[in-house]
Structure 1
Amino acid sequence: MRKSRQEAAETRQRIVESASVRFRENGIDATALADLMAQAGLSHGGFYKHFASKEQVVLESLELASNALRDGMSTALEGKGGINAAVAAYLSAEHRDNPGGGCPFVALSGELARGSEEVRHAATEGIERLIAMFASEIDAPPAAAKKRALLMVSTMIGALSLARMVDDATLSDTILREARKALAQ
């Protein structure tokens, strides 16, 4: 029996959501299509009914993760603590310890840098939107606000990357704390 368009769209979304988490947890190259489909509760053979290639699901899952990151940062920016609250949420132990639900630019940076032109473009757009969001919250002329936001986003991504990379819990916590202090408004 054929699935309705609604069911097919829901299945496709389930695959993208699963891929978004798995890619950030394990990496793109280390995630097999069979694993994605199994996590979504589907057989491997059904993948190509929904996607033309693995790159297509990479692009859609990157967009999903990028939008979720931006939404989370937007909520924090609009809240009581503004930029400091957003920075604190991003540079937190909870974010560090949750790669599958966290920043795709940290979890996938090496693979995104080596990705296709289309994948790199999608990553660029996501980062530019994040920078613009922070810049809009900085009380400075637009060019100065953009430079400060670029520095903030770069520092946040770099600090979170280092905090995940090191095998010393104290050092990891120190990296996050010192980056938060350096970015405090």
Structure 2
Amino acid sequence: MSRVSQAQAQENRANVVAAAAQLFRERGIQGVSLADLMKSVGLTPGGFYKQFASKDALVTEATERAFNDRDTYLSSLDSKNPSRSDARGAMAEDYLSPQHRDNPGAGCPTAGFAGDLAQAAHEGNVTSQQTYADGVRRFVDWMTDDGDDGLVATCTLVGAILLARATSSTDLSEEILRAVRHALTDSPS
């Protein structure tokens, strides 16, 4: 049996964290077995504990990874738009789209991890709950512009996408996306 190089082990770990960040948002943390996760990146389940102390430790890393990816996206909007207000409008258009609603694995971690991490303190995983809170705070801070309340806008976006996902096979889903997009961007599209 050959040993994996340190560089390959680091790459494998990064691949597991990235896959977990996606799969946990798609299926929920409890909906992803370690065997399925490891299989998705071409590794055996036995290798998991060589990389991570526990599934809870992976949840924390996957949460941080998802928020870091989201932060990179928000920074790219800042660089593409003349003002934070314009960047926020562009983000709201993307956020409240059918594409975001229908692809939670690639979507916002604030919405994607909300249900599972609401139980984190109850189950004793305070670390992942704090990681989540830190990521939400960064989103709120980015959403705050010229003294307006980024917390209200963030909660409105997250609530809207969760409701739109929960009603995705009905006309109400499109209505939610349209109404909140209009309220936040003054765009009736």
In the alignment, which residue of structure 1 is the partner of 2:67?
Answer: 66
1:120 aligns with 2:124: no
RMSD between aligned alpha carbons? 1.4
Corresponding position: 1:94 with 2:95? no
1:1-185 equivalent positions in 2, closer than 5 A: 1-80=2-81, 81-115=86-120, 116-135=125-144, 138-140=145-147, 145=148, 148-184=149-185
Cα distance between partner residues in 2 of 1:70 and 1:91: 18
Identity of aligned residues (%): 38
State the one-letter code of the partner of 1:76. L
TM-score norm. by structure 2 comes to 0.88
SS in 2 for 1:30: coil
Deviations 1:76-104 (A, max 9, x none): 24433322111111111111111111112
Cα deviation, 1:13-45, whole Å, max 9, x if unaligned, reads 011111111111111011100001000101111
CA distance in 2, matches of 1:61, 1:52: 14
Report how many residues are paired: 177
SS where residue 179 of structure 1 aligns? helix
Contact in 2 for aligned 1:77/1:86 (Cα 8 Å):
no
Q: Please identify, of 168-177 and 39-48, the stretch whose mean Cα deviation from structure 2 is larger.
A: 168-177
Contact in 1 for aligned 2:63/2:113 (Cα 8 Å): no
What TM-score do you get using the length of structure 1 for normalisation?
0.90
Q: Which runs of 5+ in 1 are unaligned?
A: none
In 1, Cα distance between the equivalents of 2:37 and 2:181?
Answer: 35
Distance 1:184 1:60 in 2: 33
Distance in 2 between residues matched to 1:14 and 1:22, nearest whole Å? 12
Cα distance in structure 2, aligned partners of 1:97 and 1:111 = 19
